Every structure is written in C-alpha cells, then in structure tokens.
Amino acid sequence: EDHIYIVGAGHAGGELAFALRQQGYAGPLTVIGEEAHLPYQRPPLSKAYLKGECEATSLYLRQQAAYEKANIGLLLSRRVERIDRANKKLVFDDGREVTYSKLGLATGGRARRMTISDAARAERTKNFHYLRNIDDVMAIRERFQEGQRLVVIGGGYVGLEVAASAIARDVNVTVLEALPRVLARVTAPQMSAFYETIHRNAGVDLRTNIEVTGLDFNEAGDAVTAVHCTGGVVIPADFVVVGIGLLPNTELAQAAGLDVDNGIVVNEYAVTSDPDIVAAGDCTSHPSVFCGRRIRLESVPNAVEQARVAAGSLAGKPKVYDSVPWFWSDQYDLKLQMTGLSQGYDQFVLRGSMENKSFAAFYLKEGRLIAVDAVNRAQEFMVAKRMVAACKPFDPAALADETVPLKTLAG
C-alpha cells in the first residue's frame, strides 16, 4: 500500500509533509519524531525562548489542528532505529515496524560533544548543558537569574546568542573561544572584531585563543563548579553552556547503505542514492549550483526550501534546488543577515558604519560578489540577495558608496 513516511519531525520534516500536500500528494502520510514536540523552529532557542519571552507552543511551525486538517499523521516520542530498504520497512526502537512506499529523511543533527575527559561526567550533572532542543533550553533558562555565573564554551552563533540572551537577564557571562576570533568559520576578521567589541561593551568577558582542558565538580559530583583552561586559567561557574557545532544525524542512512559524506548525499532534486528516498535539511550534503560544489548547510531557509524540493520529487514534480544560502542571527539590537558563502574571498568592502551598527559587508572573489553580511540593513539585504544570486562582478567603490542606492547597482 502507498504510504509516505518522514523520519525526523523538525523544521525540514514538518515542511516536507505540508509541501507534499500542497504539491498534490493525497495518500497516507506520517511524520515520525523522537522528540515529544510537534515540529518546531529552533532559532528562538538561543533568543526569545531562552530569555523566557515566549512559550514552547509558539515555536511550533503549525498547531495540532493543522496536521489533522491536512490528514498528516504524527508519531512523536518515537525513534526509527533501522531502515530495511530491501523490504521497505522502518523499524522503531520498540521493535515495531511499518512499511513505506517512499521515504523522506529529515533527521537534522545533534550538538557536538566536548572531547575532554571530564565531559562525560559533566553530562551527568545538572548544570552542564548542550543546546539543541526545547528540553535543553527549559533546563538552561531556569538558571537565568541575576548574578549567576555562566560560562559559554564556543564563540559561534549559538554561543554568542546565548551570551546576549543571558546578559539581557543580568547573568554574568564568560565566553571561551579556542580560535583567535569568534565566528571565525563563517565570517571576516572585521566582522569578528565588530561582534567581539559589541559583546565586551555589553559586559561579556569574552576570551579568545583559550581552550578548555578540564572541569571541577562539587563534592556530590552533581554540578560543575569551574572550568579549567589553557594557561592555568580557572573560571568559576554556576552553569555551563556548550555551543561547539553540530553533527549531522546520518547513522540511520549510513546503516541502510545510503551514500553519506558529511551528510546524507542527495542530488539536486534532494533524492538520495535510493530513488525512493529523499532527504532535506541539516542532515544533507547537496550540490550547490551557486557554490559549484557539495555543501551541507545548517539554516532554516535551507531546511524549508530543500524540503519543498524533496516534496516535489516525491510528488512527481521534480525541480532543481538552486537557492543561494542565507542565514540570520540576532544578538542584542543587531539583526545580522547573511547570504552566499564568504570562504575564499579576496576583497572585503564595507558600506555604512560599524560604529553606527548599520552596515553591509561585501565579499568579492576575483571581482565577483560571493557573499554579503548585513547588520540592521534589512532592505538592502533583500537587494544584496539578488546581487549575490546574480554571480556577477560589482564595482567595489560603488558598493561602498552610500550615495549610490544598491538597487541601481543590482539592475
């Protein structure tokens, strides 16, 4: 019998289900997720939800009634342990099985764990946290009280957003980054320096070039009390949040014999090495028309747009996934929006003023515009997205000149 199952009830899984209905698939359809929640958006987990400004249900992409109306089944708090491709079966953690006609994989990723020897012990305490799920945040935000000492390990987007949210709740924050600058993986030194200044001015004790070597525990062994770092530095902590990246959940696909290479390998139609199985979101490695190579992205726009392409493939309406990557991050009063991928740029052009917290940074490679980071420039960002998508050269002097509207450059 015809039955499409989707494994993973996150942003991509939820979107894939509704996109299938929108694209005309009317048969049986079920989304399976190991979390207890309806598919939800994760960005607020380090922002509004962490600050206690909204409830978990407001993060849900759609409420229960929408699934009922669209006749989309939900199997939550259920984990798929194995895909038996020969018999087209999914095997659950309780041993039960279902038969699929076609399958969507939207298994996302999990927080990368620390490798220091104290980390396993720390995970059994009550004040050492990773941040990926609603449940993680519920535990963290209870500790957001004035004067509490938080050590954030990792100066990437998640770590910095946690720091900004904690400062808003009058928590004392230290951020530890092993590399010489924050956001090193994704942006230019000028942007890193800008964000470092912003955080320090807000009261964050931000340290770079420093590695965590160990942890202290209380006598009962149920709480971390301090973080040890290179150079003999010891930082007392009431709680610790680790944000050191993501590992894609590819084990299920790999064990089923699907191609996996830094993500579940899909083609430009979001189809895996098995024509009956599509995949979308953080878990995929996909060919990027824009970058001219395979990439794996961790962003909501990618999860949503790739899920729609995957739905098209399952519904017999294939279309090529050719979106230009984009992403955002909110810290304090700064709305950062990024498009393209800046790796390999050879020219950095600034438009506007970092001092006034309103600017766009253009990244060029051999004259061609490959990426833009815009801070508090939402309107220009919309134009910048089109400019990056055009894969064209632009005159750096004109980009920097605020008297020339970007629109006129974009053509």
Among 118, 177, 196, 298, binds ligand FAD (CB under 6 A): 298
User: Which is nearer to ligand FAD, 33 or 312 (by Cβ)?
Assistant: 33
Minimum Å gap between C-beta 305 and ligand FAD is: 11
* Binding flag, residue 281, ligand FAD (CB under 6 A): yes
Draw the binding track, 137-176, toward ligand FAD (x: CB under 6 A; -: no contact).
---------------------x------------------
d(CA 4, CA 313): 12
Stretch that binds ligand FAD, among 6-14, 258-266, 316-324, 383-391 (CB under 6 A): 6-14
Minimum Å gap between C-beta 22 and ligand FAD is: 18
* Binding flag, residue 79, ligand FAD (CB under 6 A): yes
Q: Which three-class secondary structure state does DSSP give residue 296? A: coil
CB 198 within 8 A of CB 331: yes
CB 17 within 8 A of CB 106: no
Q: E-assigned strands of 131-193?
A: 149-153, 172-176
- Count other Cβ atoms within 10 Å, centred on residue 48: 15
CB 384 within 8 A of CB 364: no
Minimum Å gap between C-beta 162 and ligand FAD is: 8
**Helix orientation angle between 11-22 and 300-314, rounded to the nearest 10 degrees:** 40
Amino acid sitting at position 274: D
Q: Which three-class secondary structure state does DSSP give residue 283? A: coil
Number of residues that bind ligand FAD (CB under 6 A): 37
Minimum Å gap between C-beta 337 and ligand FAD is: 10
Cβ within 8 Å of residue 142, ≥6 positions away: none
CB 294 within 8 A of CB 248: no
Stretch that binds ligand FAD, among 112-120, 140-148, 276-284, 375-383 (CB under 6 A): 276-284
Stretch that binds ligand FAD, among 22-30, 120-128, 191-199, 326-334 (CB under 6 A): 326-334
Among 17, 72, 80, 314, binds ligand FAD (CB under 6 A): 80
What DSSP element (H or E) covers 348? strand 347-353
What would the two tokens of residue 380 be? Answer: 């220009």
Among 4, 5, 11, 174, binds ligand FAD (CB under 6 A): 11
* Binding flag, residue 277, ligand FAD (CB under 6 A): no
Cβ within 8 Å of residue 129, ≥6 positions away: 136, 139, 140, 239, 240, 241, 242
> Which 101-130 positions form the footprint of ligand FAD (CB under 6 A)?
106-109
Q: Quick one: DSSP state of residue 117?
A: T
d(CA 372, CA 340): 7
Among 4, 5, 6, 7, binds ligand FAD (CB under 6 A): 7
* Binding flag, residue 131, ligand FAD (CB under 6 A): yes
Stretch that binds ligand FAD, among 34-42, 190-198, 286-294, 364-372 (CB under 6 A): 34-42
d(CA 390, CA 381): 14
CB 224 within 8 A of CB 216: yes
Percent helix, percent strand, percent coil in the chain, to nearest 5: 25, 30, 45
Among 6, 25, 43, 296, binds ligand FAD (CB under 6 A): 43
> Which 233-272 positions form the footprint of ligand FAD (CB under 6 A)?
249, 252
* Binding flag, residue 329, ligand FAD (CB under 6 A): yes
Give the Å distances, CA to CA, from 187 to 135, 293, 342, 409.
30, 19, 7, 24
The residue among 241, 246, 183, 191 whose CA lies nearest residue 212 is 241
d(CA 350, CA 366): 17
Minimum Å gap between C-beta 394 and ligand FAD is: 25
Minimum Å gap between C-beta 347 and ligand FAD is: 26
* Binding flag, residue 285, ligand FAD (CB under 6 A): no
* Binding flag, residue 299, ligand FAD (CB under 6 A): yes
Stretch that binds ligand FAD, among 270-278, 325-333, 346-354, 392-400 (CB under 6 A): 325-333
Minimum Å gap between C-beta 13 and ligand FAD is: 5
d(CA 252, CA 257): 9
Among 114, 242, 300, 374, binds ligand FAD (CB under 6 A): 300
* Binding flag, residue 325, ligand FAD (CB under 6 A): no
Q: Which residues bind ligand FAD (CB under 6 A)?
A: 7-13, 32-35, 42-43, 45-46, 79-80, 106-109, 131-132, 158, 249, 252, 281-283, 298-301, 303, 327-329
